[in-house]
Amino acid sequence: MGTAIKRVFVSLSIALLLMAMMTTSPSQAQTSRNAMIGQMLMMGFPGSNPDGSWPKRLAAQISRGQVGGVVMLGYNFKSKAGVKRLTSLFRNAAGRRKLFIALDMEGGAVQRLGRKLGYPSIPSARRIARTQSPQQAQKTYSRLAAISRNAGFNMNLGPVVDLLINPSNPVIGRWNRSYGTDPTKVAAYASAFVKAHRARGIVTVLKHFPGHGSSLSDSHDGFVDISNTWRNKELEPFVKMIARGDAVAIMPGHLIHRQIAGSVPVSISRKAIRGLLRNKLKFRGLVLSDDLQMGAIAKNFSYRSAVIRAVNAGVDMLMISNSRKPDKNLPAKTIAIISNAIDKGQISEATVRAAYQRIQRAKAIAF
């Protein structure tokens, strides 16, 4: 008798579960999808005043689950107190949701929290490689990581693992952002950077895959073709750091390499990201795009096309500075672009789900 009752109870439970699944409204399913897509967006914003309309609007979008990360760029950094108020605003808006708050904090010429804001100066990558051992560098980067964490950041868009192929390179070589020409040495110093940040709960992002050190121009301005200047050894720092578990996240560059990526930039190339980075190099971490509004992308692709191409290429998180004709509704519009593309069969929902899961695994480091 007891067994029969249990069978009836189980059957009834299954029936109720099936009914609940059948009666789930489209809006509920859509909300779940949109929440995943929202986590894929890392948004920038104009201004530096925490009481300004743009930061407050972004905070509201974060609280609605439309944004999974914030990137703060040079023009957002005007005072030490203002920066801390901004990061607190965004962190509080996220509530129980996990939010990435990212900055460029390499040291040298690229140090958002620098002397102008009253912080100590940290040497450039090139200087550190010349004057410090990797062990000493880790201590230096521990100070840099502490500065970032105390200011409210949990993601650093570094280290640079580009090799110094072209010393006069306008974006890497000229600013001493590379550790040097030797892949083993570059990987050693970059790993010191990663370990120092990991100890502070900060996610690091290796850049710029597959290597920006040989370029003759700057992808901020337009297309950069490295097809004839790039060398195979530029992949080695990425390979080494993936193998040793020091590659939590990787940023593909807006770089043309016809053999690796075909006719489109690496950052939106399925061949480069899914083919080379994921399948051949076995990278299982987070892929974060460089700003999709940089000249190399914005001057050659519509915003909708760039977003869809990036997601299909295998980018998990889209960085969007919202600096080119700032749009107050850009998060909602971007979510709609991706959601509509799923409805039309242009993006697989499984792709979004996989991106969401990788984002959450990366966020576990910082929370």
Beta carbons within 10 angstroms of residue 23's beta carbon: 8
Cβ–Cβ under 8 Å, residues 150 and 244: no
Using a 10 angstrom Cβ sphere, with 0-12 exposed, 13-18 middle and 19 or more buried, the burial of residue 57 is: middle
- Two tokens, residue 67: 């944004």
- Enumerate the active-site residues: 220, 290
Place of tokens 């560098």: 137
Q: What is the DSSP string of 144-201?
A: HHHHHHHTT--EE---B----S-TT-TTTGGGT-S--S-HHHHHHHHHHHHHHHHTTT
Cβ–Cβ under 8 Å, residues 93 and 361: no
Place of tokens 């067994």: 3
Residue 45 has phi, psi (to 5 degrees) of -160, 150
Residue 359, CA distances (Å) to 68, 91, 157, 316 in order: 9, 17, 15, 7
Pairing outcome for strands 203-209 and 110-111:
unpaired
AA identity, residue 332: A
Exposed e or buried b for every residue in 115-144, given b needs 16+ CB within 10 A? eebebeebbbbbebbeebebeebbebbbeb
AA identity, residue 257: H
